[in-house]
Chains A and B, each alone.
Chain A
Amino acid sequence: VNDIEDPLGGITRRKLHIAMLLDRSKSMTGVRIQALNESMRTVLPLLKEASERNPQADVYVRQLEFSSGARWRTEWQPIKTFGDLWHYESLEPDGITDLGAALDLLTSELDPSRLGAFNYPPVVVLVTDGQPTDDWEAALKRFNESPFGKKRGRTVRAAVNVTDGDTETLAAFTGDPEMVVKADTSHQLTTFLKWATVSLSKHSSMGRSTTEGNPGAGDGSPPPPPPPAPPANPDDDVF
């Protein structure tokens, strides 16, 4: 078929990147890391299912772990191949809480030259239980001056505080205290991770006005987290 006659040639889909910053420091040892691993195994299939229902975005997930230093655990992986071509590998706890290192890695990766020219606002989810042990504030400043970080609405950020995290630190990261949730049980962790990935990625991929504040249509901010549920059953682990 002649190039000009094939209107479908050259079509690309808009991408939605979900970066998951996962704390695997020593303090996560025990039920916390176990709950995080199980929550990830529960939520990733739900995210896959949701993205099939919300197909305007090609959703990619990338996991970043931080403890003593930080590293990307994976490449950007299409959620549609989860369970077929890739699986979730459990985190093992060790080391301290170098959140700043994690944010610097994020800053270097969230760049149009790396992500391409056609994106929904990336969703960045931070899960942590501790006080940062490095200069996270300088790293956050660098992220907030980066192409994606510098304007409100170019990223959708959420933080899940696994009981003992520092709420103020997390609110500084999200820029909005309402986007910080506290999970005290494994059930709550799963619920909040589902909100942070499934609900926020849907929010990110919907068309809206640039007007800051949309009276009558909500205020343009992401959907609020669900209320923390009490332990669902005797098996629910309390952190």
Chain B
Amino acid sequence: MSSSEAPEIHATALVVAGPVLIAAGHQAGGEARCLALPTPAGSGRPVLLATSSPVDGGSSLTASMGARFAAEAAERALADAVKMWLEGAPNVGYLLDVARDALVKEWADRVREDDRLRRDRRGSGARSHEVDFGPYDATVAAAVVVNGKLLAIGVGHGSLAILDEAGLALHVAPEQELHPTLSQTVAERLVDGRPSGWVVPGWSRHKDVPVTTGGRLAVTTAAFAPPPCTLAVSLSGAGHLRRHDKPCQDSALAQHHNGLVLLSVADGHGDDRYTHADLGSRFATDAFREVVLRQLESIRDQLSSIREGRNDALAGEVGRRLAQAALLAWYARVRTYLRLNGVEDQFDPAMATFGTTLLGVLVWRDLVLCLRLGDGEVLVMDGQRKAHRVFPLPEKEFSNATESLSFVPDGRRSLADRVEVQVLRGRPRLVLVCSDGVSDSYFAGDKQAEAENRESLLARKWAAGPYETISAHGWKRWADELPALLNRVSITGTFDDVSVAAAWWPDPPAAPWPAPWEPGALKAGSDAGWSSWAETLPSVLFEWMKPEGRPTEVSLAIAALE
């Protein structure tokens, strides 16, 4: 925690690490600042408040540097805007748009400079490269009340509140909708590594504010919601455990990278002739991860285009291209393992022994892109708490053969014909990918449900069920109980290997977030006097961050309006 006070103007800025960060041994990485502005004629002494928070928690040095750059840039940009306005520039809206652009530009410049310095220190600075803004990513908000007018700028999910004497907040921001963070904003405005203009999304506010005695102006930013909780579990099926020579042939992974969530499950074929199926499935999930990470920014851009354009045809195209890239990356891994030489896209007979299915899911903001080659399933709990089985039921009445990464290119059916792509819109609450060791256990029930036009049994058991459990008891409890549950499903159902990769997004708070200082705290503060009240804020904020789904840290700047 850091704090500074300006008693004569009653302002406090502090950054508080929440229980999650403390437990992990991390420090908060946010920044909070108060700056007294020159006193304009006919008004009280205004204070400029600026706060920022790292997007993905404050655990790294780059993250806290990113937040510091953001707060300093916001403070400077807003101070310049206020100065110009007080000097007579008439169009305050335009001034604030310029300030917001200046904030983003300065932040990007400082990140580039910091990145260059780090590379110089490592001795790798000579080679030109693209700066990865992601690790520095931050949200930022800055505000000032001057001459009865509120001026505010921000990028990302800050919150800004003016509180009345009873401590009830008149919230000016945050937005209901998530805004791009700084790195996303910069990335979206870069073409070939160069800025293409600085008309950036974000927010700016100016409005007339009735100044009430004893009211407070508070600015706080924090990650709007903590990163999603993710997990990936693969367990040997009961059938495989009985055969000691048969390893688990499933593989699962779950990761998130600056807002992009990646889930994948692969299931190596069980037939004895697929002698390398366990490696094949691992290579498949690794290959999927590699192709996503290798072109992370480009994929985000493509997903953004799908979002904005509501373009399902493009979604199909992006999905098939991803599958194609994953297939080539898988070939490369298999070839390396086999120590074979050859052209990368040439099929090699020995590859078939690595035969595996592949499921891949990308979640970007309110878009869920799902790929399937073979079987297994993707389940989504949507924002309306409705559970969906994403793919149509595969044909299982007659056979257990599936599509496979080891398919023989025969000139008749290409990968594009074999891979299924589905896109869902709307922010998900839970996404769960499972191998057929799980989904097949409910196949007969779902076949019947489909015939009777009822909801999917699998979706009820493995999306709605977990969601209810997590909502009631927390993610950790579900995650702890999952392996035993999967084991029971295997024993009761398929006896096959069982895998789950899942991501859960804590419910967003009722907008705006119930502020920790309302309604009682501020009133108590007014009664106790500014200094005594300010001293209680860290513990109030810490307590407020305890429930699951709250930010991992809070940066708060607060000042009395006079």
Report which A residues bind B (CB closer than 8 A): 3-14, 53-56, 112, 116-121, 147-148, 151, 153-154, 203, 205-218
Q: Once the chains bind, are A4 and B270 in contact (CB under 8 Å)?
A: no
Report if B464 contacts A (CB, 8 A): yes
Question: Count of A-B contacts with CB under 8 A?
Answer: 158
Q: Once the chains bind, are A53 and B399 in contact (CB under 8 Å)?
A: no
| Residues from chain B with Cβ under 8 Å of A207 in the complex | 267, 269-271, 400-402, 436, 496
Q: Once the chains bind, are A216 and B351 in contact (CB under 8 Å)?
A: yes
- B199-240 Cβ-contact flags toward A at 8 Å (1 or 0): 000000000000000000000000000000000000001110
Q: With A and B bound together, what is the CA distance between A82 and B324 in angstroms?
A: 49
Q: Once the chains bind, are A209 and B243 in contact (CB under 8 Å)?
A: no
Report if B302 contacts A (CB, 8 A): no
Q: With A and B bound together, what is the CA distance between A210 and B496 in angstroms?
A: 19
Q: With A and B bound together, what is the CA distance between A36 and B275 in angstroms?
A: 36
Contact of B352 among A11, A12, A147, A214 (CB under 8 A): A214
Q: Once the chains bind, are A208 and B408 in contact (CB under 8 Å)?
A: no
Q: Once the chains bind, are B408 and A7 in contact (CB under 8 Å)?
A: no
Known: A5-B469, A12-B445. 5 other contacts (CB 8 A): A14-B494, A121-B398, A211-B406, A214-B352, A217-B271
Q: Which of B401-427 contact A (CB under 8 A)?
A: 401-404, 406-408
Chain A nearest CB from B196 CB (Å) reads 46
Closest chain B residue, CB of each to CB of A215? B349
Q: Once the chains bind, are A206 and B270 in contact (CB under 8 Å)?
A: yes
Q: Once the chains bind, are B444 and A54 in contact (CB under 8 Å)?
A: no
Closest chain A residue, CB of each to CB of B404? A209
Chain A nearest CB from B405 CB (Å) reads 9
Q: Given A55-B239, A216-B350, are A118 and B399 neighbors across the interface (CB < 8 Å)?
A: no
Contact of A7 among B400, B444, B485 (CB under 8 A): B485
Q: With A and B bound together, what is the CA distance between A70 and B465 in angstroms?
A: 50
| Residues from chain A with Cβ under 8 Å of B401 in the complex | 153, 207-210
Report if B440 contacts A (CB, 8 A): yes
From A147, A205, A207, residue with most partner B Cβ within 10 Å: A207
Q: Given A5-B468, A7-B462, A215-B352, are A208 and B269 neighbors across the interface (CB < 8 Å)?
A: yes
Contact of B461 among A7, A206, A210, A217 (CB under 8 A): A7
| Residues from chain A with Cβ under 8 Å of B465 in the complex | 4-5, 7
Contact of B396 among A3, A10, A118, A203 (CB under 8 A): A118
Q: Once the chains bind, are A217 and B273 in contact (CB under 8 Å)?
A: yes
| Residues from chain B with Cβ under 8 Å of A218 in the complex | 273
Can you name 30 A-B pairs with beta carbons within 8 Å? A4-B464, A4-B468, A5-B469, A7-B488, A7-B489, A8-B488, A11-B492, A11-B493, A12-B441, A12-B442, A12-B444, A13-B494, A14-B400, A56-B239, A56-B496, A117-B447, A118-B397, A118-B443, A151-B398, A207-B270, A207-B400, A208-B402, A209-B406, A210-B401, A210-B402, A211-B404, A211-B408, A213-B408, A214-B408, A216-B350
Report if B274 contacts A (CB, 8 A): yes
Q: Given A14-B494, A215-B352, are A56 and B444 neighbors across the interface (CB < 8 Å)?
A: no
Q: With A and B bound together, what is the CA distance between A106 and B397 in angstroms?
A: 17
Q: Once the chains bind, are B494 and A56 in contact (CB under 8 Å)?
A: yes
Q: List 6 A-B pairs, minimum CB-CB distance, nearest first.
A: A209-B404, A215-B349, A206-B271, A207-B270, A117-B447, A56-B495
Q: Once the chains bind, are A206 and B272 in contact (CB under 8 Å)?
A: yes
Q: Once the chains bind, are B353 and A216 in contact (CB under 8 Å)?
A: yes
| Residues from chain B with Cβ under 8 Å of A10 in the complex | 442, 445, 457, 461
Closest chain B residue, CB of each to CB of A118? B444
Closest chain A residue, CB of each to CB of B268? A207
Q: With A and B bound together, what is the CA distance between A152 and B219 in angstroms?
A: 69
Report if B448 contacts A (CB, 8 A): yes
Q: Once the chains bind, are A217 and B267 in contact (CB under 8 Å)?
A: no
Q: With A and B bound together, what is the CA distance between A215 and B353 in angstroms?
A: 8
Contact of B355 among A12, A203, A209 (CB under 8 A): A209
Q: Given A209-B403, A216-B350, are A14 and B396 neighbors across the interface (CB < 8 Å)?
A: yes
Closest chain A residue, CB of each to CB of B405? A209
| Residues from chain A with Cβ under 8 Å of B461 in the complex | 4, 6-7, 9-10
Q: Once the chains bind, are B269 and A209 in contact (CB under 8 Å)?
A: yes
Chain A nearest CB from B410 CB (Å) reads 8
Q: Which of B354-409 contact A (CB under 8 A)?
A: 355, 396-404, 406-408
Chain A nearest CB from B210 CB (Å) reads 50
| Residues from chain B with Cβ under 8 Å of A119 in the complex | 396-398
Q: With A and B bound together, what is the CA distance between A56 and B457 in angstroms?
A: 20
Q: Once the chains bind, are A211 and B400 in contact (CB under 8 Å)?
A: no
Q: With A and B bound together, what is the CA distance between A207 and B448 in angstroms?
A: 23
| Residues from chain A with Cβ under 8 Å of B493 in the complex | 11-13
| Residues from chain A with Cβ under 8 Å of B489 in the complex | 7-8, 11
| Residues from chain B with Cβ under 8 Å of A13 in the complex | 441, 493-494
| Residues from chain A with Cβ under 8 Å of B269 in the complex | 206-209
Q: With A and B bound together, what is the CA distance between A211 and B398 in angstroms?
A: 15
- B249-266 Cβ-contact flags toward A at 8 Å (1 or 0): 000000000000000000
| Residues from chain A with Cβ under 8 Å of B270 in the complex | 206-208
Closest chain B residue, CB of each to CB of A150? B398
Closest chain B residue, CB of each to CB of A207? B270
Q: Once the chains bind, are A117 and B495 in contact (CB under 8 Å)?
A: no
Closest chain A residue, CB of each to CB of B387? A4
Q: Once the chains bind, are A208 and B469 in contact (CB under 8 Å)?
A: no
Report if B460 contacts A (CB, 8 A): yes
| Residues from chain A with Cβ under 8 Å of B444 in the complex | 12, 116-118
Q: With A and B bound together, what is the CA distance between A53 and B448 in angstroms?
A: 30
Q: With A and B bound together, what is the CA distance between A12 and B465 in angstroms?
A: 18
Chain B nearest CB from A210 CB (Å) reads 4
Q: With A and B bound together, what is the CA distance between A210 and B242 in angstroms?
A: 26
Q: Once the chains bind, are B355 and A217 in contact (CB under 8 Å)?
A: yes
- B435-468 Cβ-contact flags toward A at 8 Å (1 or 0): 0100011111101100000000100111011001
Chain B nearest CB from A230 CB (Å) reads 28
Q: With A and B bound together, what is the CA distance between A216 and B496 in angstroms?
A: 24
Q: With A and B bound together, what is the CA distance between A47 and B14 in angstroms?
A: 73
Chain B nearest CB from A215 CB (Å) reads 4
Q: With A and B bound together, what is the CA distance between A12 and B449 in angstroms?
A: 14
